Amino acid sequence: MPLTRRDFLVSGSLSLAAGALSPLLVHAAKSKPSTPPDFKDWESVRREFDLAPDYIHLALFFLASHPRAVRQAIEQYRERIDANPFVAVDSAIFEPTNVNIPLQVCQAIASYIGGDPQHIALTQNTTTGLALLYHGLPLREGDEILTTTHDHYVHHESIRLATGRCGATWRKIPLFDSYNSISPDEIAERVRKAIGPKTRAVGVTWVHSSSGVRLPIARIAQSVAEANRGREEKDRVLLIVDGVHGLGVEDPKITALGCDAFATGTHKWMFGPRGTGFVWAKPAVWQRMRPIIPTFTSPDIFEAWEQEHDPQTPARAAWFSPGGFQAFEHYWALPTAVHFHQDMGPARVTARIHELNGQMKAELARMPNIQLYTPRDENLSAGIVCFDVKGMKPEQVVKRLLDQRIVASTTPYRVSYARVACSVVNTPQEVDSVLRAIRQLG
Protein backbone atom coordinates (compact mmCIF):
# COMPACT_ATOMS: atom_id res chain seq x y z
CA MET A 1 0.00 0.00 0.00
CA PRO A 2 1.49 3.41 -0.91
CA LEU A 3 2.53 5.55 2.00
CA THR A 4 0.60 8.69 2.74
CA ARG A 5 2.11 12.00 3.74
CA ARG A 6 1.50 11.01 7.35
CA ASP A 7 3.41 7.78 6.95
CA PHE A 8 6.39 9.46 5.38
CA LEU A 9 9.36 8.34 7.48
CA VAL A 10 7.08 7.51 10.40
CA SER A 11 6.13 4.06 11.58
CA GLY A 12 3.71 4.90 14.39
CA SER A 13 0.29 6.45 14.03
CA LEU A 14 -0.28 9.62 15.96
CA SER A 15 -2.59 11.09 13.41
CA LEU A 16 -5.30 12.23 15.73
CA ALA A 17 -3.20 13.63 18.54
CA ALA A 18 -0.71 15.16 16.18
CA GLY A 19 -3.33 16.58 13.86
CA ALA A 20 -4.97 18.20 16.83
CA LEU A 21 -1.69 19.77 17.87
CA SER A 22 -0.67 21.39 14.62
CA PRO A 23 -3.13 24.27 14.57
CA LEU A 24 -2.04 25.04 18.12
CA LEU A 25 1.54 25.28 16.98
CA VAL A 26 0.68 27.75 14.29
CA HIS A 27 -1.61 29.71 16.57
CA ALA A 28 1.09 29.93 19.24
CA ALA A 29 3.60 31.39 16.83
CA LYS A 30 1.14 33.98 15.56
CA SER A 31 0.13 35.29 18.96
CA LYS A 32 1.00 38.97 19.35
CA PRO A 33 2.93 40.59 22.19
CA SER A 34 0.72 42.33 24.78
CA THR A 35 1.76 45.79 23.59
CA PRO A 36 2.26 45.63 19.84
CA PRO A 37 4.71 48.13 18.36
CA ASP A 38 3.56 51.15 16.44
CA PHE A 39 4.91 50.18 13.03
CA LYS A 40 4.55 53.75 11.78
CA ASP A 41 7.03 54.94 14.41
CA TRP A 42 10.68 53.98 13.75
CA GLU A 43 11.59 54.43 17.43
CA SER A 44 8.91 51.94 18.31
CA VAL A 45 10.21 49.52 15.67
CA ARG A 46 13.72 49.90 17.08
CA ARG A 47 12.47 48.97 20.56
CA GLU A 48 11.41 45.57 19.20
CA PHE A 49 15.09 44.60 19.01
CA ASP A 50 17.31 43.55 21.89
CA LEU A 51 20.30 45.33 20.34
CA ALA A 52 22.97 46.64 22.73
CA PRO A 53 21.76 50.23 23.20
CA ASP A 54 25.24 51.70 23.64
CA TYR A 55 26.31 50.75 20.10
CA ILE A 56 25.38 52.14 16.69
CA HIS A 57 24.61 49.05 14.63
CA LEU A 58 25.62 49.39 10.99
CA ALA A 59 26.26 45.72 10.18
CA LEU A 60 22.89 44.04 10.72
CA PHE A 61 22.95 43.02 7.05
CA PHE A 62 25.75 40.63 8.08
CA LEU A 63 23.49 38.69 10.42
CA ALA A 64 20.10 39.69 11.76
CA SER A 65 19.14 40.52 15.29
CA HIS A 66 15.66 39.06 15.83
CA PRO A 67 12.82 41.45 16.62
CA ARG A 68 10.68 40.51 19.59
CA ALA A 69 7.94 38.81 17.57
CA VAL A 70 10.49 36.55 15.88
CA ARG A 71 12.15 35.73 19.21
CA GLN A 72 8.76 34.84 20.66
CA ALA A 73 7.77 32.68 17.70
CA ILE A 74 11.06 30.78 17.90
CA GLU A 75 10.63 30.36 21.64
CA GLN A 76 7.08 29.08 21.32
CA TYR A 77 8.07 26.52 18.72
CA ARG A 78 11.09 25.54 20.80
CA GLU A 79 8.88 24.94 23.85
CA ARG A 80 6.54 22.75 21.80
CA ILE A 81 9.38 20.71 20.39
CA ASP A 82 11.10 20.39 23.76
CA ALA A 83 7.83 19.24 25.32
CA ASN A 84 7.23 16.53 22.76
CA PRO A 85 9.69 16.36 19.87
CA PHE A 86 8.04 13.54 17.95
CA VAL A 87 4.48 14.81 18.11
CA ALA A 88 5.42 18.43 17.45
CA VAL A 89 7.63 17.74 14.46
CA ASP A 90 5.83 14.79 12.94
CA SER A 91 2.52 16.58 12.88
CA ALA A 92 3.95 19.79 11.50
CA ILE A 93 5.96 18.53 8.56
CA PHE A 94 4.18 15.37 7.45
CA GLU A 95 0.56 16.44 7.76
CA PRO A 96 -1.62 17.32 4.77
CA THR A 97 -1.64 20.84 3.49
CA ASN A 98 -3.67 22.99 5.88
CA VAL A 99 -1.52 22.16 8.92
CA ASN A 100 1.77 21.66 7.13
CA ILE A 101 4.13 24.29 8.48
CA PRO A 102 6.73 24.28 5.65
CA LEU A 103 3.87 24.95 3.28
CA GLN A 104 2.69 27.82 5.46
CA VAL A 105 6.22 29.22 5.42
CA CYS A 106 6.18 29.11 1.60
CA GLN A 107 2.77 30.81 1.61
CA ALA A 108 4.05 33.62 3.83
CA ILE A 109 7.09 34.16 1.59
CA ALA A 110 4.90 34.10 -1.53
CA SER A 111 2.57 36.71 -0.05
CA TYR A 112 5.62 38.97 0.30
CA ILE A 113 7.50 38.33 -2.95
CA GLY A 114 4.43 38.09 -5.13
CA GLY A 115 4.86 34.53 -6.32
CA ASP A 116 3.28 31.14 -6.01
CA PRO A 117 4.16 29.17 -2.84
CA GLN A 118 4.71 26.13 -5.01
CA HIS A 119 7.63 27.80 -6.75
CA ILE A 120 9.61 28.22 -3.54
CA ALA A 121 12.19 25.90 -2.00
CA LEU A 122 13.15 26.50 1.63
CA THR A 123 16.88 26.61 2.40
CA GLN A 124 19.13 27.51 5.32
CA ASN A 125 20.84 30.51 3.72
CA THR A 126 21.86 32.11 0.42
CA THR A 127 24.87 29.84 0.13
CA THR A 128 22.79 26.66 0.15
CA GLY A 129 20.35 28.19 -2.33
CA LEU A 130 23.07 29.14 -4.82
CA ALA A 131 24.75 25.75 -4.46
CA LEU A 132 21.54 23.84 -5.09
CA LEU A 133 20.74 26.01 -8.11
CA TYR A 134 24.09 25.67 -9.86
CA HIS A 135 24.53 22.00 -8.97
CA GLY A 136 20.95 21.34 -10.02
CA LEU A 137 21.43 22.70 -13.56
CA PRO A 138 21.67 19.99 -16.23
CA LEU A 139 25.13 21.17 -17.31
CA ARG A 140 27.04 19.23 -19.96
CA GLU A 141 30.69 19.22 -20.90
CA GLY A 142 31.52 22.40 -22.77
CA ASP A 143 28.59 24.40 -21.34
CA GLU A 144 29.45 27.72 -19.79
CA ILE A 145 28.24 29.78 -16.87
CA LEU A 146 28.78 33.50 -17.15
CA THR A 147 29.11 35.55 -14.00
CA THR A 148 30.68 38.82 -12.95
CA THR A 149 33.74 40.01 -11.06
CA HIS A 150 31.50 41.63 -8.42
CA ASP A 151 29.87 38.61 -6.77
CA HIS A 152 30.39 37.04 -3.37
CA TYR A 153 32.75 34.16 -2.69
CA VAL A 154 29.87 31.70 -2.15
CA HIS A 155 28.40 32.55 -5.55
CA HIS A 156 31.66 32.02 -7.45
CA GLU A 157 32.46 28.94 -5.42
CA SER A 158 29.04 27.39 -6.15
CA ILE A 159 29.69 27.93 -9.86
CA ARG A 160 33.25 26.62 -9.69
CA LEU A 161 32.20 23.44 -7.90
CA ALA A 162 29.20 22.81 -10.16
CA THR A 163 31.05 23.38 -13.44
CA GLY A 164 34.06 21.39 -12.24
CA ARG A 165 31.94 18.27 -11.84
CA CYS A 166 30.90 17.96 -15.47
CA GLY A 167 33.58 19.63 -17.58
CA ALA A 168 31.62 22.86 -17.97
CA THR A 169 33.47 26.18 -17.81
CA TRP A 170 32.82 29.55 -16.20
CA ARG A 171 33.85 33.10 -16.89
CA LYS A 172 33.69 36.39 -14.98
CA ILE A 173 33.18 39.78 -16.59
CA PRO A 174 33.21 43.26 -15.03
CA LEU A 175 29.92 45.11 -15.48
CA PHE A 176 31.55 48.52 -15.05
CA ASP A 177 35.10 49.86 -14.85
CA SER A 178 34.62 52.71 -12.41
CA TYR A 179 32.12 53.41 -9.63
CA ASN A 180 31.78 56.93 -11.04
CA SER A 181 30.45 55.87 -14.40
CA ILE A 182 27.97 53.04 -13.86
CA SER A 183 25.33 52.89 -16.54
CA PRO A 184 22.40 50.44 -16.67
CA ASP A 185 22.59 50.54 -20.49
CA GLU A 186 26.24 49.59 -20.45
CA ILE A 187 25.70 46.82 -17.88
CA ALA A 188 22.94 45.32 -20.02
CA GLU A 189 25.06 45.63 -23.14
CA ARG A 190 28.09 43.98 -21.53
CA VAL A 191 25.95 41.02 -20.45
CA ARG A 192 24.38 40.75 -23.91
CA LYS A 193 27.75 40.76 -25.66
CA ALA A 194 29.31 38.27 -23.23
CA ILE A 195 26.62 35.58 -23.63
CA GLY A 196 27.95 32.97 -26.05
CA PRO A 197 26.38 29.96 -27.78
CA LYS A 198 27.49 27.69 -24.92
CA THR A 199 26.32 29.96 -22.09
CA ARG A 200 23.59 28.25 -20.05
CA ALA A 201 23.30 30.61 -17.10
CA VAL A 202 24.19 34.15 -16.10
CA GLY A 203 24.80 34.63 -12.37
CA VAL A 204 24.60 38.12 -10.87
CA THR A 205 24.08 39.77 -7.49
CA TRP A 206 21.23 42.22 -6.94
CA VAL A 207 23.11 44.36 -4.42
CA HIS A 208 26.88 43.92 -4.29
CA SER A 209 28.25 43.49 -0.80
CA SER A 210 31.62 44.44 -2.32
CA SER A 211 30.55 48.00 -3.13
CA GLY A 212 26.87 48.61 -2.39
CA VAL A 213 26.05 48.82 -6.11
CA ARG A 214 22.50 47.69 -6.97
CA LEU A 215 22.19 46.12 -10.40
CA PRO A 216 19.37 46.86 -12.86
CA ILE A 217 18.16 43.24 -12.87
CA ALA A 218 15.22 43.94 -15.20
CA ARG A 219 17.60 45.39 -17.81
CA ILE A 220 19.93 42.40 -17.50
CA ALA A 221 16.90 40.12 -17.88
CA GLN A 222 16.13 41.87 -21.18
CA SER A 223 19.64 41.08 -22.45
CA VAL A 224 19.23 37.45 -21.44
CA ALA A 225 15.82 37.31 -23.12
CA GLU A 226 17.39 38.69 -26.30
CA ALA A 227 20.09 36.00 -26.22
CA ASN A 228 17.39 33.36 -25.78
CA ARG A 229 15.49 34.36 -28.89
CA GLY A 230 15.47 31.39 -31.21
CA ARG A 231 17.18 29.05 -28.73
CA GLU A 232 15.78 25.62 -28.00
CA GLU A 233 14.39 25.21 -24.46
CA LYS A 234 17.31 22.98 -23.42
CA ASP A 235 19.85 25.63 -24.47
CA ARG A 236 18.08 28.56 -22.87
CA VAL A 237 20.23 30.88 -20.76
CA LEU A 238 18.91 31.28 -17.22
CA LEU A 239 19.34 34.45 -15.17
CA ILE A 240 20.23 33.50 -11.58
CA VAL A 241 20.25 36.22 -8.93
CA ASP A 242 21.84 36.30 -5.48
CA GLY A 243 19.28 38.63 -3.93
CA VAL A 244 20.21 38.64 -0.27
CA HIS A 245 21.02 42.34 0.11
CA GLY A 246 17.99 43.47 -1.88
CA LEU A 247 15.30 41.46 -0.10
CA GLY A 248 14.04 43.38 2.92
CA VAL A 249 15.32 46.64 1.42
CA GLU A 250 13.89 47.06 -2.08
CA ASP A 251 10.44 46.32 -3.51
CA PRO A 252 9.94 42.68 -2.46
CA LYS A 253 7.98 41.71 -5.58
CA ILE A 254 11.03 39.90 -6.89
CA THR A 255 9.03 37.76 -9.28
CA ALA A 256 8.60 40.94 -11.35
CA LEU A 257 12.37 41.44 -11.72
CA GLY A 258 12.47 39.16 -14.76
CA CYS A 259 15.06 36.71 -13.45
CA ASP A 260 14.64 32.93 -13.69
CA ALA A 261 15.84 32.04 -10.20
CA PHE A 262 16.45 34.04 -7.03
CA ALA A 263 18.40 32.74 -4.04
CA THR A 264 18.43 34.55 -0.72
CA GLY A 265 18.92 34.21 2.99
CA THR A 266 16.22 35.64 5.22
CA HIS A 267 18.55 36.22 8.16
CA LYS A 268 20.00 39.54 7.06
CA TRP A 269 17.78 42.51 6.07
CA MET A 270 14.64 40.41 6.60
CA PHE A 271 15.43 39.95 10.33
CA GLY A 272 14.30 36.36 9.92
CA PRO A 273 15.45 33.48 12.10
CA ARG A 274 19.17 32.82 11.70
CA GLY A 275 19.74 29.86 9.41
CA THR A 276 16.80 30.48 7.06
CA GLY A 277 16.47 31.35 3.40
CA PHE A 278 14.72 30.34 0.22
CA VAL A 279 15.01 29.97 -3.54
CA TRP A 280 12.27 31.16 -5.84
CA ALA A 281 12.38 30.00 -9.46
CA LYS A 282 10.02 29.77 -12.41
CA PRO A 283 8.36 26.36 -12.65
CA ALA A 284 10.06 25.68 -16.01
CA VAL A 285 13.42 26.17 -14.27
CA TRP A 286 12.62 23.74 -11.48
CA GLN A 287 11.50 21.23 -14.10
CA ARG A 288 14.89 21.38 -15.83
CA MET A 289 16.85 20.87 -12.64
CA ARG A 290 18.04 17.89 -10.63
CA PRO A 291 17.89 17.96 -6.83
CA ILE A 292 21.10 17.34 -4.94
CA ILE A 293 19.85 16.80 -1.39
CA PRO A 294 17.00 14.42 -0.43
CA THR A 295 13.92 16.38 0.55
CA PHE A 296 11.35 15.82 3.31
CA THR A 297 8.74 18.10 1.79
CA SER A 298 7.69 15.93 -1.15
CA PRO A 299 5.95 12.66 -0.28
CA ASP A 300 5.92 11.60 -3.95
CA ILE A 301 9.72 11.33 -3.92
CA PHE A 302 9.53 9.16 -0.82
CA GLU A 303 6.82 7.03 -2.39
CA ALA A 304 8.92 6.53 -5.51
CA TRP A 305 11.83 5.42 -3.34
CA GLU A 306 9.58 3.09 -1.40
CA GLN A 307 8.24 1.58 -4.61
CA GLU A 308 11.74 1.37 -6.07
CA HIS A 309 11.31 3.51 -9.13
CA ASP A 310 12.37 7.01 -10.14
CA PRO A 311 9.95 9.87 -9.54
CA GLN A 312 7.42 9.92 -12.38
CA THR A 313 6.68 13.65 -12.55
CA PRO A 314 8.80 16.63 -13.60
CA ALA A 315 10.87 18.22 -10.83
CA ARG A 316 9.27 21.01 -8.81
CA ALA A 317 10.38 23.42 -6.10
CA ALA A 318 9.45 21.21 -3.15
CA TRP A 319 11.97 18.60 -4.30
CA PHE A 320 14.75 21.09 -3.68
CA SER A 321 14.10 22.03 -0.04
CA PRO A 322 16.92 20.18 1.70
CA GLY A 323 15.53 17.48 3.96
CA GLY A 324 16.83 16.02 7.18
CA PHE A 325 15.83 17.24 10.61
CA GLN A 326 16.70 20.83 11.21
CA ALA A 327 16.43 23.74 13.64
CA PHE A 328 12.67 23.61 13.03
CA GLU A 329 11.86 26.29 15.57
CA HIS A 330 13.88 28.70 13.43
CA TYR A 331 12.54 28.02 10.01
CA TRP A 332 8.94 27.68 11.18
CA ALA A 333 9.19 31.16 12.70
CA LEU A 334 10.09 32.76 9.37
CA PRO A 335 6.49 33.91 8.60
CA THR A 336 6.68 36.12 11.69
CA ALA A 337 9.62 38.01 10.15
CA VAL A 338 7.72 38.35 6.89
CA HIS A 339 4.71 39.74 8.78
CA PHE A 340 7.03 42.15 10.61
CA HIS A 341 8.10 43.58 7.24
CA GLN A 342 4.54 43.64 5.94
CA ASP A 343 3.48 45.50 9.08
CA MET A 344 6.24 48.10 8.62
CA GLY A 345 5.22 48.39 4.96
CA PRO A 346 7.82 47.48 2.31
CA ALA A 347 7.62 50.89 0.59
CA ARG A 348 8.23 52.68 3.91
CA VAL A 349 11.15 50.36 4.66
CA THR A 350 12.71 51.12 1.26
CA ALA A 351 12.23 54.84 1.72
CA ARG A 352 13.70 54.82 5.24
CA ILE A 353 16.77 52.78 4.31
CA HIS A 354 17.45 54.94 1.25
CA GLU A 355 16.95 58.12 3.25
CA LEU A 356 19.44 57.14 5.97
CA ASN A 357 22.05 55.79 3.58
CA GLY A 358 21.49 58.79 1.30
CA GLN A 359 22.25 61.06 4.25
CA MET A 360 25.42 59.05 4.93
CA LYS A 361 26.61 59.14 1.30
CA ALA A 362 25.84 62.82 0.76
CA GLU A 363 28.07 63.83 3.65
CA LEU A 364 30.80 61.25 2.98
CA ALA A 365 31.02 62.55 -0.59
CA ARG A 366 31.78 66.02 0.78
CA MET A 367 34.60 64.89 3.09
CA PRO A 368 38.11 65.44 1.70
CA ASN A 369 39.50 62.46 3.65
CA ILE A 370 36.98 60.02 2.13
CA GLN A 371 36.76 58.11 -1.11
CA LEU A 372 33.14 57.02 -1.56
CA TYR A 373 32.58 54.03 -3.83
CA THR A 374 28.83 53.36 -3.61
CA PRO A 375 26.88 55.41 -6.18
CA ARG A 376 24.72 58.16 -4.74
CA ASP A 377 22.10 57.42 -7.37
CA GLU A 378 19.21 55.66 -5.57
CA ASN A 379 18.60 53.50 -8.63
CA LEU A 380 22.10 52.09 -8.42
CA SER A 381 22.36 51.59 -4.67
CA ALA A 382 20.39 50.17 -1.74
CA GLY A 383 21.36 49.88 1.94
CA ILE A 384 25.13 49.33 1.81
CA VAL A 385 27.69 52.15 1.69
CA CYS A 386 31.37 51.45 0.93
CA PHE A 387 34.21 53.91 1.33
CA ASP A 388 37.86 54.37 2.19
CA VAL A 389 39.43 56.81 4.59
CA LYS A 390 42.45 58.07 2.69
CA GLY A 391 45.70 56.76 4.17
CA MET A 392 43.99 54.10 6.32
CA LYS A 393 43.35 50.42 5.81
CA PRO A 394 39.65 49.43 5.94
CA GLU A 395 40.23 47.24 8.99
CA GLN A 396 41.83 50.18 10.82
CA VAL A 397 38.76 52.26 10.00
CA VAL A 398 36.45 49.56 11.35
CA LYS A 399 38.58 49.14 14.48
CA ARG A 400 38.65 52.88 15.17
CA LEU A 401 34.88 53.09 14.74
CA LEU A 402 34.33 50.10 16.99
CA ASP A 403 36.44 51.84 19.66
CA GLN A 404 33.66 54.44 19.55
CA ARG A 405 30.97 51.76 19.66
CA ILE A 406 30.06 52.08 16.01
CA VAL A 407 29.71 48.65 14.39
CA ALA A 408 30.95 48.80 10.79
CA SER A 409 32.56 46.05 8.71
CA THR A 410 35.06 45.52 5.91
CA THR A 411 34.08 44.01 2.57
CA PRO A 412 35.37 40.40 2.31
CA TYR A 413 36.71 40.75 -1.23
CA ARG A 414 40.13 40.89 -2.94
CA VAL A 415 39.90 44.68 -2.89
CA SER A 416 38.43 45.52 0.47
CA TYR A 417 36.65 48.69 1.63
CA ALA A 418 35.14 49.96 4.84
CA ARG A 419 31.37 49.43 4.89
CA VAL A 420 28.41 50.81 6.81
CA ALA A 421 24.77 49.94 6.30
CA CYS A 422 21.88 51.79 7.88
CA SER A 423 18.75 49.73 8.42
CA VAL A 424 15.34 50.54 9.90
CA VAL A 425 16.79 50.41 13.42
CA ASN A 426 19.00 53.45 12.79
CA THR A 427 18.17 57.12 13.10
CA PRO A 428 19.31 60.32 11.33
CA GLN A 429 20.96 61.33 14.62
CA GLU A 430 23.00 58.13 14.61
CA VAL A 431 24.07 58.82 11.04
CA ASP A 432 25.26 62.28 12.16
CA SER A 433 27.28 60.72 15.00
CA VAL A 434 28.88 58.23 12.61
CA LEU A 435 29.74 60.99 10.17
CA ARG A 436 31.35 63.02 12.97
CA ALA A 437 33.44 59.98 13.93
CA ILE A 438 34.50 59.32 10.32
CA ARG A 439 35.40 62.98 9.78
CA GLN A 440 37.86 62.74 12.65
CA LEU A 441 39.60 59.68 11.23
CA GLY A 442 42.70 59.84 9.03
Ligand X SMILES: Cc1ncc(COP(=O)(O)O)c(C=O)c1O
CA neighbor of 70 nearest in space, from 37, 93, 107? 37
**DSSP letters for 337-388:** HHHHHHHH-HHHHHHHHHHHHHHHHHHHHH-TTEEE-S-S-GGGB-S-EEEE
Nearer to ligand X, 150 or 354 (CB): 150
Least Å distance, CB 213 to ligand X, is: 11
Nearer to ligand X, 81 or 113 (CB): 113
Cα distance between residue 125 and residue 141, in whole Å: 29
Site string for ligand X, 247-286 (x = CB under 6 A): ------------------x-----------x---------
Site string for ligand X, 66-105 (x = CB under 6 A): ----------------------------------------
The residue count for the chain: 442
Part in contact with ligand X (CB under 6 A); list of ranges 76-84, 102-110, 124-132, 314-322? 124-132
Options 125, 297, 321, 357; binder of ligand X; rule CB under 6 A: 125
Q: Is 127 in the site for ligand X (CB under 6 A)?
A: yes
CA neighbor of 69 nearest in space, from 271, 253, 280? 271
Options 81, 92, 154, 420; binder of ligand X; rule CB under 6 A: 154
Q: Please return the burial class of 118, using the count of CB atoms within 10 Å of its CB with bins 0-12, 13-18 and 19+.
A: middle
Q: Is 158 in the site for ligand X (CB under 6 A)?
A: no
Q: Is 152 in the site for ligand X (CB under 6 A)?
A: yes
Site string for ligand X, 340-379 (x = CB under 6 A): ----------------------------------------
Residue 16: enclosing H or E segment and its boundaries?
helix 15-30
Nearer to ligand X, 245 or 352 (CB): 245
Please, which of residues 198-237 interact with ligand X by CB under 6 A?
205, 209
Q: CA dist 387 to 36, 267, 295, 342, 442, Å?
A: 38, 25, 43, 32, 13
Least Å distance, CB 241 to ligand X, is: 10
Any bridge partners for residue 202, and if so which? 146, 239
Q: CA dist 362 to 215, 354, 373, 416, Å?
A: 20, 12, 12, 21
Q: Is 297 in the site for ligand X (CB under 6 A)?
A: no
- Residue 31 CA, chain-centre distance (Å), reads 26
Cα distance between residue 249 and residue 287, in whole Å: 30
> Nearest-CB residue to ligand X?
265
Please, which of residues 230-249 interact with ligand X by CB under 6 A?
242, 244-245
Note the residues at the interface with ligand X (CB under 6 A): 125-127, 152, 154, 205, 209, 242, 244-245, 265, 277
